[in-house]
Every structure is written in structure tokens, then in C-alpha cells.
Structure 1
């Protein structure tokens, strides 16, 4: 989840116009146009790729997960059979969530000789994928491929861009962990570490963004190579930081002002890197991207509404980080099956990393 600051709403109209018109752009060997060609349609929203897979497409960058890509990932990544869950507990945030989304309600009741249960919760409360009808271009009020507000909450019961479409094949492929937090702590062991590594706080997005230079440095430190169609997963230390805070500390953060959290920096080089390589982007933080944004756009707008790129939030990456260190390998086979609920805005990730 991302908090949009008012200044962004005033800046975005200069970047976005309302009516798309297509233009032909050559595709590379991976079937995508160059980043410099975005937006694909003149008049389309900033950096959008509407129409790349057809005007009615609801998969977006998941189209990159072809059978060949998935088969190659299973062959290269499944070596030991070790499985690691990436699912944070559904009730991990306790009685009051960090972003004021209530709590997980769980009621067990007798139903004759057996028991049934009822779950009552916000789908953004624990580890989840955002669907393509969760977040639009704010000024334009357009979701992926031009879908409008009325298509999401109108009277026609439309399910367009709902997460159920992803349930047909799942989010499955080669996962790559960027263990920023372990790398950052390693930098502190140096004789004269950079001050920014000491100051880094996953609960302060204004001063603790993760840059493209950081991501590349972590990948180099890990010895991890990126391939087209990978699923990027970034560990910032947010969930473990949350787990280590008292309820009073969490409440104090909530009262201190707009929600702030670390994440990927919103820069054009970062967006180019994501566009050229990944089928989905996720992390252990509440919004994947640093919040508030320090740029004139947000990743939620471009990734979800512009590219149709799934964003995964609040992943539990602690066991994954430990297993990656043990195996000295930060890539793995990822399998994630979202719920089949037509029109849903998000889903639990139901994710396993297989080494």
C-alpha cells in the first residue's frame, strides 16, 4: 500500500493525458519494446505499456512467464528440494495493523459434530499480491489498459483486471532475492562504513530508500545473475523490524504522521531495470517502493496501472534469507497461487521458494 502525497496529484497531470492512440514500436528478442519507447501510445499515461499484449489483456508482465521460461527456471533452480514458505502469519500485525487496516478476525464455532470457522480481514493485511484493479494512475483515474473506476466499483459487476485471472496459471518462475538487509549489515563491519548504512531505518522511507546502485551491489555481493522473466524479491528488514517493535512503538509511528516505509527508490534508471528484466516485483515492506515517493511518479502507478506488473508486499523473507545463505544461492524456483475470487483486488501469496 502506498500513501499519495497531495503534491504528486498536482504534478501528475503534466505527465498524463487522457486519450490513448497506438503507435508501432519494434520489440527486442524478449518480446518487449525498449524502455525509451514508453508510453507505447501517444497520450497514454506516463511510462505505460498499454496494448503491448492486446487491448483486453489482464496478465501484464506475467505474459513474460512463458512455459519455456518456467521450465528453464525449474531445471536450473530446483536442486535440493528444500522448500521455504514466504507467507507472513495472517494475524502477524496483531490487533491493529501498521497502515490502519484493522485486524485479522478468526472465529471458530461448532457446527453439529464438527467445527467451522469464519475469517474476516482486509486482503492487504499480510503477505499479498496487489491486483491490477487495486491502484490507478491517480490523476487520470485509469487502471491497466485504460480500465476506469466504474469498471471496478460500478453497477455492471465487472471483474476486469481482477486477480482471479492470475489464478489460472499462478505466479511461477525463477525468484531472485536481493537481501539488502544482510548486505547493509555487512557494510557496517567495515572500518569506516558509510553513515547511510547506520541511519537506515525501514520505517523511514524519506531517508532510507534502496537505490538501483544498492540493488546492483547486493546482486554482485551475492553472486546472483538476473535473467529475463525473473521475479524480484527485496528484503529490507521491515517485517523483522515490525516483529521487534512493541505495540507502543508501532502506535507512536502511526501517530507521527503519514505512513513512511523503506523500499525501492522511484528513479528512471530503477524503472528501466525493472522493465527490462522482471515479471513481478515484491518485498517484505508495506509498499515495495519507498514511501513517500521522492519523485514525480509512484511505482504503484507505473507497475500496476502502466505495465500490469504484480507487486507483492509484506512477504516473510527471514527463513528464505537464512536458507539462501546456507546454500550460498539467492535464486530459487518460486510458486505462488493466488485465490480464485473474480474481481478481487488482492490475494494472499500462498508462496513457496524451492531450492
Structure 2
């Protein structure tokens, strides 16, 4: 894990039905201002904006594939990957009962290796479930931590309940918008910034889309991982509200937290996560490697994600794919 500044660490530590959908969801009326549950998709809903995905949306996205060009959006994860403290991840490889060159008893002298993962699921490229972050111990759709949060795994809102995410993806290139190769730590992206970048780059966001924001920050993973983990450019809460209002199913960025860190107001932390996850049921995708998409000037693409079905998990390491 890369080092974090003491001030940043102190601030950060404060945070903390897989089935095809056959018809376009018709959400109920939105809650009254200031009231964010029950969800517009129903009091028992667990999948939030993913209700907006349907076969027609998949077919629309599939028609974007014209070149057969595939982009890996995940990054390799290992022992040195910087992560939100105190997270870390490690793979340990073993050859059980095969000491000093021994093989498994057999005429064909079979050898094999196994591996063990030890770590947190919120390292590297990841998806946040609605059980990851809430408001005063209340999570998406009014689910209180005392009712579903268990050390053995959540009983609602877990990673295994997220439907496959096959939809149209769009890229908003903020490096192009600001005419520089990389935004700086703490640099804020507002709703107006997103609107202007989308307009200038010809990016149209539609209901059910996944929006990825390119800031250039992911480049630091390889050349300066310590700096990568100390802060990041990103959206503010107003931008989170704007994106949720567009009817998207997920928002991601090439940063580890999507929001700008250090926080503009140190007394209001991860407010964008609260707006997206808890209030609107919009998933968050972190550490997306958007470099190749930005380099190729991609504006829209087929986005595909089938996350690990880890029962009761609140996050998962992922490797989404973009196809053009």
C-alpha cells in the first residue's frame, strides 16, 4: 500500500437478482425534497438505477460496436497497490504437499499450484454496492445498518445482487476540457464543468448509461503511487446530483474515490458517495483505466461488467470492458 499523508489519512478514515430485465422500469414519483427513501423504485427495491436497464438498452449499446476494439478498464492489483487506508491486498501462491520438488503421487507426476487472496475488496479497480456508504447508519432505500450489516456479510444490498451491467458507456475527458494532461489533487469538477465538457466534446448522456470521467490521475499509479493515494481530482456533490439526475446507472473515474480530495469542506466528507449510492441508487466505479479511451477520442462504447458474485460483500475488485 502506498503511503498517505497524515492529514489525508485522518480525514479519509472518517468515511467509510441477477436476472434480465424485460421492460423499461417506470419509477414511482421521486421522494419529496429532503426525503430520500423509500426509493422511487419501490420500498423493497435493492438494485436502484439498475432498474433502468432492459434488453432494448443492451441492443442500443451493442450497435456501438463497429471496430471490434476492446479496452480493459481494470488495473492490476497487488501488494503495492495504493488504497484507501487501512486497505491492502495480497496474493500468496502455494504448491500444497509438494515440498522440495515433490509431485502429487501419480504415474504422470502431476504438479499444481493454488493461490490464496488475503485483503480487502476495495483495492484497485472496484465497484461500490449500496451497502458501502450511507447517511447516519441508513443506507439505500432506508435500510438501517442494524438490520442487515453483519460481519459475516450483509444480508441486503450485497454485491451478488447487482445485475449484469451491459449498457452504453460514455467518456467525459476533463483533461481535454482543461487543456492539460492531468488534473491536480483537490481539483474540483462541478456540474457546470461536466455540462460544458459534454457539450464541447459532443457527449450525450442517456438514461441507463454509465458515465466515466477521465482526469489523467491513473497515470500516477505507475510512476508515483504515493502521490496517487494522497489525494485526487474529482466531482463535488453538485456534480453527483447532476449525474444522478441524468438517470445513469453508474459513474466512474480514473481516481480511487471519484470525489475531489482533499475535501473542499473538511467537515463534509464523501457527500457525493451519499448522493449517488444512498439517495439515488447509482453505483460508483473507482480506479477505471480510461487512458486508452481518452487517447483514442472515444465518446461512447459498449460497457460490460459482470462483477464477482461474492455473497454479502459491499465492494468487489472488477475489470470492466469497453468495446467499440
Give me the TM-score of the superposition, normalised by structure 2: 0.79
The DSSP-based 3-state class of the residue aligned with 1:338 is coil
1:243 aligns with 2:222: yes
1:69-88 aligned at under 5 Å gives the runs 69-75=57-63, 77-88=64-75
- The residue number in structure 2 matching 1:126 is 124
Contact kept? 2:303, 2:321, Cα under 8 Å: yes
1:329-344 aligned at under 5 Å gives the runs 329-344=298-313
The 1:339–1:215 alpha-carbon spacing in structure 2 relative to 1, beyond 3 Å, is same
Spell out, residue by residue over 1:62-107, the C-alpha distance to the aligned partner (whole angstroms, 9 max, x if none): 11112222222212x111111110011112xx53624334433111
The 1:148–1:4 alpha-carbon spacing in structure 2 relative to 1, beyond 3 Å, is farther
* Structure 1 residue 152, shift from structure 2 partner: 4.0
- The residue number in structure 2 matching 1:193 is none
- The residue number in structure 1 matching 2:55 is 67
The 1:286–1:41 alpha-carbon spacing in structure 2 relative to 1, beyond 3 Å, is same
The DSSP-based 3-state class of the residue aligned with 2:138 is coil
1:66-145 aligned at under 5 Å gives the runs 66-75=54-63, 77-91=64-78, 94-95=79-80, 97-111=82-96, 112=104, 113-137=111-135, 140-145=136-141
Aligned mate of 2:168, from 159, 168, 174: 174
Spell out, residue by residue over 1:22-65, the C-alpha distance to the aligned partner (whole angstroms, 9 max, x if none): xxxxxxx984578xx5xx158xxx46253322222110011111
Counterpart CA distance in 2 for 1:152 and 1:4 is 28
1:274 aligns with 2:262: no
Counterpart CA distance in 1 for 2:319 and 2:81 is 23
- The residue number in structure 1 matching 2:3 is none
The 1:265–1:4 alpha-carbon spacing in structure 2 relative to 1, beyond 3 Å, is farther
CA RMSD of superposed structures (Å): 3.0
The 1:103–1:213 alpha-carbon spacing in structure 2 relative to 1, beyond 3 Å, is same
- The residue number in structure 2 matching 1:231 is 210
- The residue number in structure 1 matching 2:293 is 320
- The residue number in structure 2 matching 1:265 is 236
* Structure 1 residue 221, shift from structure 2 partner: 2.9
**Runs of 5+ in structure 2 lacking a partner?**
1-7, 16-23, 97-103, 105-110
Counterpart CA distance in 1 for 2:305 and 2:65 is 15
Spell out, residue by residue over 1:102-158, the C-alpha distance to the aligned partner (whole angstroms, 9 max, x if none): 433111111332111112221111000001111011xx3101111122234348965
1:36-55 aligned at under 5 Å gives the runs 40=31, 46=34, 48-55=36-43
1:166-205 aligned at under 5 Å gives the runs 166=162, 169-185=163-179, 200-201=183-184, 203=185, 205=186
Counterpart CA distance in 2 for 1:127 and 1:98 is 10
- The residue number in structure 2 matching 1:299 is 272
Runs of 4+ in 1 over 6 A off after TM superposition: none
Counterpart CA distance in 2 for 1:243 and 1:41 is 46
For these two proteins, the number of residue pairs brought into alignment is 292
By percentage of residues, which structure has more helix? 1
The DSSP-based 3-state class of the residue aligned with 2:203 is coil
The 1:153–1:145 alpha-carbon spacing in structure 2 relative to 1, beyond 3 Å, is same
Counterpart CA distance in 2 for 1:313 and 1:276 is 20
- The residue number in structure 2 matching 1:13 is none
* Structure 1 residue 349, shift from structure 2 partner: 2.2
